[in-house]
Structure 1
Amino acid sequence: MSSRKRVLLGVLGSGRGSNFAAILSSIVSGRLSASIAVVISDREDAGILGLAREAQIQTVVLRQGRYRTRLDPDIEEELAQYLRRFQVDLVVLAGFLRVLKGPLLTAYPRRILNIHPSLLPAFKGKEAWKQALEAGVVETGCTVHWVEPEVDSGPILGQERVPICPGDTPESLHARIQEAEHRLYPDVIQRVIDRKLWQRIHS
């Protein structure tokens, strides 16, 4: 076995943790050559925390702040400190429902990945699958991208297309997009690791 240090992931999530579960499954199967150092949530009742604890992965719950859609700057600085403490190489957003601003982006420039349920740059923001249905397009999908200050606007690393079928509801379309996300996210993370993409701006 190689003695090379495995890339350490820090996963941030606010919900059930289905993308986290897909990433963890890819690690266990050997498809993804990384380890998850810590799972951090802004919600004490988030399902992702239970999944992490079952897998004996360290968890952190952030303090509640003044805002619903973003973190207070001091809490975001604490988040960056937690990630440093766990020696995280890459930060992976898996349904994290807070917009990241200065402190974390400064601490981890071009080292934060997100997955969004549309073919960016189309349908940024919340409930992108509903936006796609309302727009009447024939396909949508999911996109993995680097996180930058403008929401859903960082450089694109990978996409998977999902056709919109006759009779699709928001629920049925979202379910198919999530299936695509679970395939795409681990593959893109491995590609980033193989190409050492996050190291290029730090070398």
Structure 2
Amino acid sequence: MKRVAVFASGSGSNFESIVNATKGKEKGYEVVLLFSDQPTAYALERADQLGVSSYFISPKNYPDKMAYEADILGLLMRYRVDFIVLAGYMRLIGPMLLKRFDGDIINIHPSLLPEFPGLDAIGQALEAGAKITGVTIHYVDEGMDTGPIIAQEKVEIKPSDTYDSLQKKIQKIEHRLYPQTLDQLLRKGETIAKTSVN
């Protein structure tokens, strides 16, 4: 069974769905750590409620990303982490973690990548007048939302949709698709073929 660390900068609703999916069920993973770069992230409180070890490390205390990630790597090694799941983590992963966890870091994004990458994908989709958006799970590389796609699911944008209503539809899919895809990836060492988005 793979030992998973979840990185989150905010609410942590995807983190909670990933942990809850393991309760009373045989899965290919267990969540052993919640890491955050934000001291007020609600994900830290969720971790306490769920009985998952949690750590906050401030990037402000380090001269550069390399030094910051060196301490994060030390934390991951202490917990014998095999796999990293980004769930609303708002920092690009640097070369140190990418090298150590090559092919073992995934992210979820609230659009059908390569459309609407980066911040506020829901707002981008609404502003563009898109009829369809969705959810993408992808491997993490050095770019922003540029890694090979693992899974996608569409969401229809109706004329009546507001930001909040579309966000709720997307989150409902995220909370099902992320644990399901993670389990499929990690169960018995199975892997899903990497597909380039370019």
Of residues 12, 21, 30 in structure 1, which corresponds to 2:25?
30
Deviations 1:145-176 (Å, cap 9, x if unpaired)?
00000110111110111100112112211111
- The aligned counterpart of 1:60 is 55
Indicate whether 1:153 and 2:146 are aligned: yes
1:129, 1:41 → 2: CA distance? Answer: 23
Uncovered stretches (5+) of structure 1, i.e. residues with no partner: 1-5, 199-203
Is the CA contact (8 Å cut-off) linking 1:32 and 1:187 kept in structure 2?
no
Cα deviation, residue 33, structure 1:
3.2
Deviation sequence 1:38-77 (CA, Å, 0-9, x none): 111001111111111122211111123279xxx7221112
**Aligned pairs (5 A) from 1:69-148:** 72-148=65-141
Q: Distance in 1 between matches of 2:26 and 2:11?
A: 22
CA distance in 1, matches of 2:23, 2:42: 20
- Residue 29 of structure 1 and its aligned partner are, at CA, apart by 4.1
Q: CA RMSD in A?
A: 1.7
Check the 8 A contact 1:19/1:181 in 2, yes or no. Answer: yes
Q: Please state whether the residue corresponding to 2:51 is helix, strand or coil.
A: coil
The answer as to 2:13 corresponding to 1:14 is no
Q: Distance in 2 between matches of 1:10 and 1:29?
A: 20
Identical aligned pairs, as a percentage?
37
* Paired positions, count: 190
SS at match of 2:30: strand
Which of 168, 191, 194 is the aligned partner of 1:197?
191
Partner residue, 1:184: 177
Question: Residue type of the partner of 1:149?
Answer: E
**C-alpha distance in structure 1 between counterparts of 2:100 and 2:88, whole Å:** 21
* Stretch of structure 1 that moved more, 22-31 or 161-170: 22-31
Inter-partner Cα distance in structure 2 for 1:172 and 1:56: 31
Letter paired with 2:22: I
CA contact (8 A) 1:32 1:186 kept: no
TM-score, normalisation: structure 1:
0.88
Q: Distance in 2 between matches of 1:152 and 1:34?
A: 24
Deviation at 1:197, TM superposition (A): 2.5
Q: What runs of 5+ residues in structure 2 fail to find an aligned partner?
A: 193-198
Q: Which residue of 2 aligns with 1:201?
A: none
TM-score, normalised with respect to structure 2 = 0.90
What SS class does the counterpart of residue 150 from structure 2 fall into?
strand
Q: Per-residue deviation at 1:102?
A: 1.2
